[in-house]
């Protein structure tokens, strides 16, 4: 398979294992997939199978033992493409206000200008956090914290977004709302995104494609394109569409069939 110019991200047989004195934990085996620009992929799989590890490798935090990653046709190391990685927990710093948490990435990358600051304020406004700019993280609800963490990632204008169970800390209703919100925004801005989640309905309502991983060590069990025949393809409309239940059952069987 030749690398395609349209492919923003390409993974070719990635292997990864954790090593420590007790032995090695094999986490990823032969993971290959590619993504087109603007595509939204959801990755589902049992707990502890290696989903977070996969995102860490794509973001360059961990080096794969074997295999290669290309971004926009370049090797990950040489790539200048901006990757935004939203971790499993919001990791907002209590000693900073929400605004100062949000501009942490700008600060680190020496990109604090009047323009980027204005952008940070604007994003906080669109996500309903304007009154909380000067609040401490502990004064915010779980959903607000999650949105603040998202703003911290988005303000760096990433071309590829990696989301590691961004909504897992939220209660069910907030989760639906924030999930749908964030999904819409990512779609609207035409961002390429990978969403790791436990929640099958979240994956089905947001993604263009679902990748199902096996239990650890993770391999790709199946890749399932999601096609909805809808006039307006929003997460909410998807949840009410007849295809939704079919996809849910399909993925459910895939995951639980091999136990």
Ligand X SMILES: Nc1ncnc2c1ncn2[C@@H]1O[C@H](COP(=O)(O)OP(=O)(O)OP(=O)(O)O)[C@@H](O)[C@H]1O
The candidate with the shortest Cα–Cα distance to 41, out of 237, 236, 213, is 213
79 binds, among Mg ion, another protein, ligand X, none (CB under 5 to 8 A by kind): none
3-state secondary structure of 37: coil
Residue 93, interface with another protein (CB under 8 A)? yes
Chain-centre distance for alpha carbon 121: 23
Minimum distance from CB of 75 to Mg ion (Å)?
26
By rule CB under 8 A, what string of x and - marks binding of each residue 37-66 to another protein? ----------------------x-x-----
Among 51, 145, 209, 238, contact with ligand X (rule: CB under 6 A): 51
By rule CB under 6 A, what string of x and - marks binding of each residue 68-107 to ligand X? --------------------x-------------------
Helix or strand run (H / E) with residue 240:
helix 235-240
Among 5, 22, 47, 95, contact with another protein (rule: CB under 8 A): 95
C-alpha–C-alpha distance, residues 104 and 216, integer Å:
34
C-alpha–C-alpha distance, residues 82 and 224, integer Å:
27
Q: What is the DSSP string of 38-88?
A: T-EEEEE--TTSSHHHHHHHHHTSS--SEEEEEETTEETTT----EEEE-S
Residue 91, interface with another protein (CB under 8 A)? yes
104 binds, among ligand X, Mg ion, another protein, none (CB under 5 to 8 A by kind): another protein
Residues found near another protein in the complex (CB under 8 A): 59, 61, 84-85, 87, 89, 91, 93, 95-96, 104-105, 107-109, 152, 156
């Amino acid at each position: 398979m030749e690398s395609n110019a349209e492919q923003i991200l390409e993974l070719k047989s990635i292997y990864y294992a954790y090593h420590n004195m007790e032995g090695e934990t094999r986490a990823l085996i032969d993971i290959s997939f590619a993504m087109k620009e603007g595509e939204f992929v959801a990755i589902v799989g049992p707990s502890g199978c290696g989903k977070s590890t996969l995102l860490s490798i794509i973001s360059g935090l961990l080096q794969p033992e074997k295999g290669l990653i290309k971004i926009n046709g370049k090797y990950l190391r040489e790539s200048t493409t901006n990757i935004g990685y939203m971790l499993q927990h919001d990791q907002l710093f209590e000693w900073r206000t929400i605004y100062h948490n949000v501009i942490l990435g700008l600060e680190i990358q020496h990109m604090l200008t009047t323009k980027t600051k204005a952008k940070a304020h604007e994003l906080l406004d669109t996500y309903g956090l304007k009154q909380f700019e000067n609040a401490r993280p502990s004064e915010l609800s779980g959903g607000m914290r999650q949105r603040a963490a998202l703003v911290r990632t988005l303000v760096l204008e990433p071309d590829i977004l990696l989301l590691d169970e961004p909504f897992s800390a939220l209660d069910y209703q907030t989760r639906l709302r924030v999930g749908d919100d964030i999904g819409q925004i990512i779609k609207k801005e035409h961002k390429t995104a990978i969403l790791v989640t436990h929640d099958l309905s979240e994956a089905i309502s947001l993604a263009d494609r679902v990748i199902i991983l096996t239990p650890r060590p993770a391999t790709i069990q199946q890749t399932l394109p999601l096609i909805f025949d809808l006039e307006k393809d929003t997460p909410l409309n998807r949840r009410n569409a007849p295809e939704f239940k079919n996809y849910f059952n399909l993925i459910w069987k895939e995951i639980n069939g091999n136990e």
